[in-house]
Structure 1
């Protein structure tokens, strides 16, 4: 299972919330890619009636007690990719970067080699349908090709990839669509966003190198 993340360890991670939902209202994860735009999954908005009432929380680890470092913004607009499970949210106004709120770096090409990879979010790290957790969880994972995915019977086709806990057992996707898959560049402290969580028991991701050009065109 996942472990509680140290506050500030994931400064680019966003909680996308619907205020009509109980508790914190957490629906999906996302990643801050500019001070005014958050990258997430399009499936998060399949049943959304009025996205302008939704909010995005950045800089928080515990959604029940975000703390003074957290920044909250309403959503100005939603842009969805026509073919892939990817979306961008424009915030009503830019956030201010700090130790707890920072931009994520999107990998534009398929990396030649990757170091350790990680997932994080407030969803059910164990892959069950239980309610999202209030405290941010993280876990190390390893990447899999589509033919090795355990996706609960749903077909996984290229360009999507999967991940599994590097020690077995952890799967993010329930309640955490839209969150990032990040990997460290070998021999460096640089982390790259290499995927956006889509769906499935086996944690299916849409690789960033299939839509990075689209992201740049929207910003």
Structure 2
């Protein structure tokens, strides 16, 4: 009979999520998009990490908030999206969609298993009832631990299905995007900016109104040294271009998900899924050595 410690190693060496390999240990990629931040409708596949969080009791698609897929089973969003959500397990998350009125075959839909809200910040995590599979239209987002004004990360973008000033609305709910500029902290004019550190932006195109992005949606910036985009903030309100900075909750993400202590992604440290994949790889190598020490 195998020793108990060997059984524990075997259990640790086999990931509990069968779809980790579909993401190839990467995050922040956009396989389908060549252009970004046009200030209009985004092309299909331009935001593969973006999620639509939906209440089935709401009219239309049920879209309530945006979110970001950070592992195959966890979506990052804003806590204010759930002020009176008693039965969150009836809610759904749609990934890989461009038009919410007609998501298409590339979209993946998952029910919500549970909700975890930060005690002090306007951020929350949704655990999905089963993992999604990464594809050209569904990818993981990278969470940055950089400071309030991330060095080496620009340009920056916002996107979502929310309404925009000066744009007529129809029955379709089509993804849009816009390029933004990061502002110095003292230039933040959001109502919550004075009470706690925030990241504030303004639209790069003059005269295009306020960035009325979905609550819970991401502010992403590009690493100038690679093809990766990093999530540096979560929208804390539908107006004012104010975001909760990622560096304030990146450690909380790890604790909430129950992952080993480490860095959940920044330009330098490895993203969350890469940390886990490395952990499982080390455990598998150790198990192989224990089975055959001679190699």
Q: Same fold, TM exceeding 0.5?
A: yes
Does residue 118 (structure 1) correspond to residue 157 (structure 2)? The answer is yes
More moved, 93-102 vs 186-195: 186-195
CA contact (8 A) 1:121 1:172 kept: no
Match of 1:33 among 63, 70, 74: 70
CA contact (8 A) 1:85 1:206 kept: yes
Q: 1:133 to 1:11 in 2, by over 3 A?
A: same
CA contact (8 A) 1:73 1:92 kept: yes
From the CA coordinates, give the structure whose radius of gyration is larger. 2
CA deviations over 1:111-160 (Å, ceiling 9, x no partner):
323210000000123399x8996000000001123432343xx2423311
Which residues in structure 2 correspond to 1:71-90 (within 5 Å)?
71-90=108-127
Partner of 1:172: 211
* Structure 2 length-normalised TM: 0.69
Partner of 1:163: 201
Q: Name whichever structure is richer in helix by fraction.
A: 2
Partner of 1:148: 187
Segments of 5+ residues of structure 2 without an aligned counterpart are 1-37, 258-295
Does residue 44 (structure 1) correspond to residue 81 (structure 2)? The answer is yes
Which residues in structure 2 correspond to 1:17-32 (within 5 Å)?
17-32=54-69
CA deviations over 1:26-55 (Å, ceiling 9, x no partner):
000000000000000000001223111100
CA contact (8 A) 1:127 1:172 kept: no
Match of 1:216 among 254, 260, 277: 254
* Structure 1 length-normalised TM: 0.91
Partner of 2:270: none
Q: 1:47 to 1:172 in 2, by over 3 A?
A: farther
Q: 1:164 to 1:64 in 2, by over 3 A?
A: same
Partner of 1:16: 53
Report the secondary structure of 2:43's partner residue. Answer: coil
Partner of 2:268: none
CA contact (8 A) 1:122 1:132 kept: no
Report the secondary structure of 1:4's partner residue. Answer: coil
Distance 1:120 1:199 in 2: 14
Q: 1:45 to 1:117 in 2, by over 3 A?
A: same
Q: 1:96 to 1:21 in 2, by over 3 A?
A: same
Match of 2:94 among 53, 57, 60: 57
Does residue 186 (structure 1) correspond to residue 216 (structure 2)? The answer is no
Distance 1:40 1:191 in 2: 17
Q: How far did residue 211 of structure 1 move?
A: 0.7
Which residues in structure 2 correspond to 1:125-136 (within 5 Å)?
125-126=164-165, 134-136=173-175
Partner of 2:143: 106
